[in-house]
Amino acid sequence: MDQEDRIALFLDYENLALGVRDHHGGRAFDLRPIADALAERGRVVVRRAYADWSYFDEDRRMLTRSHVELIEIPQRMGASRKNAADIKMAVDAVELAFEREYISTFVIGTGDSDFTPLVHKLRELNKRVIGVGVENSTSALLPPACDEFLFYDRLEGVEVPPAAGRRGRAARPAGTGAPPPAERPAEPPAEPTVETAPAAEEPARDVDTLSVLVAQTVAGMQGSSSGEVTASGLKRTLLRKDPTFSESDYGFRTFGELLRHLAGHNVIELAAGPAKGDPEVSLPERGDREVAFALLRSVVVDLAGEGGAAALSGLKDQLRRARPDFSEKKLGYRSFLQFCKAAATSGAVELRWSAEAEDYLLTPQTA
């Protein structure tokens, strides 16, 4: 038990409940998917939710059954209920960070960017911070501030209706889990619709995109550290790059399954690591890179002819004509120039800068 992460869960409940209602066809918020996701990450020792509970009667019963402490933020005429809830939750979280040193992870359930300073402060106090929010009502500023961000919509057990990705207010809920719009306070809730990241701008989650991401990350880790790259270290680095990263978005059940898939496609190599179940990850020393270097040399020979040289500009397009799936990023290189420099180091081509041509020139390496 001493090795488990101790987790404190803080829910900006109105933000989550209204976000689910507005973007999930009027459905009620369900705590179970969040609880299950956190159970996989550690032991939840504190559970608190903040709201004016007179508007969430059925939700209050559900949370009480899940042993969540309900913090009442009553509606007051002429006062800002939203700010009162935000301040109370932030103060309680920071106070707990100082009083309970054994709590290593704070989970902040909200999509409101007003909590970004709280996230920064908790991380300054050496606490890991996981954010949870409804995808279409989460500020674009919040996920990058966290160590990890879980979109409620993507959690196991959450059923998202086809129209959930569209912005706009939903119809009246069929159940009683969330209050009908007519019973809400007169002022419109601000959090669920501000500073949202449009779903259409989200990059495609395909395996080719994943291959590039993993190869570049492994290459960067190998270049910046003399130690070996382990699977656990790679996962932490991927989450630092993109706190919303999840192997399940690409169709894999576990991170290990994802790595085995990439190893089977020669994107990475796996070897026994320092601990069982935590293999060492590296880029292939041979195979696709040597094939790519040979391809580069053959294209340079075709373009340069006898004793000539090929300019770097436009060369990548020529490689793609010969091999449409060519991508230096899949091989772990951040740019085409870096790939050509590696090919020159390997002896496949010669690379030099030409002041006259104002470009790099490549010639076939002579024996």
Average pLDDT, the chain: 80
Q: What value does the mean pLDDT take over residues 348-362?
A: 87
Tokens of 92: 């309680």
Q: Mean pLDDT highest for which of 7-21, 179-193, 203-217, 347-361? A: 7-21
Q: What value does the mean pLDDT take over residues 208-217?
A: 80
pLDDT range class, residue 2, cuts 50, 70, 90: low
Q: Residue 306's pLDDT is what?
A: 63
Q: pLDDT tens for residues 279-329?
A: 988 887 655 677 888 889 889 888 887 678 888 888 988 888 888 878 887
Tell me, what DSSP letter sits at residue 139?
Answer: B
pLDDT range class, residue 227, cuts 50, 70, 90: low
Percent share of the chain, pLDDT over 90:
28
Work out the angle at residue 363's Cα, subtended by the Cα atoms of residues 359 and 365, and round it to the nearest 5 degrees: 140
Q: What value does the mean pLDDT take over residues 103-121?
A: 95
Instruction: Identify the residue with better confidence: 203 or 247.
Output: 247
What is the gyration radius of the CA atoms in the chain, in angstroms? 26
Tokens of 179: 């209050």
Q: pLDDT tens for residues 240-289?
A: 888 888 888 888 888 999 999 888 887 888 888 888 888 988 887 655 67
Handedness of CA 78, 83, 89, 94 (dihedral sign): negative
Choice among 18-22, 55-59, 86-90, 363-367 with the minimum mean pLDDT = 363-367
pLDDT range class, residue 105, cuts 50, 70, 90: very high
Specify the length of the chain in residues.
367
C-alpha span between 19 and 355 (Å, rounded): 58
Q: Is the pLDDT of residue 144 over 80?
A: yes
DSSP 86-128: HHHHHHHHHHHHHH-TT--EEEEE---GGGHHHHHHHHHTT-E
| 328 closest CA partner among 302, 292, 298 | 292
Choice among 27-36, 141-150, 206-215, 318-327 with the minimum mean pLDDT = 206-215
C-alpha span between 367 and 198 (Å, rounded): 55
Instruction: Identify the residue with better confidence: 82 or 239.
Output: 239
Instruction: Identify the residue with better confidence: 37 or 103.
Output: 103
Q: Residue 76's pLDDT is what?
A: 56
Three-state DSSP at 230 gives strand
Q: Residue 202's pLDDT is what?
A: 43
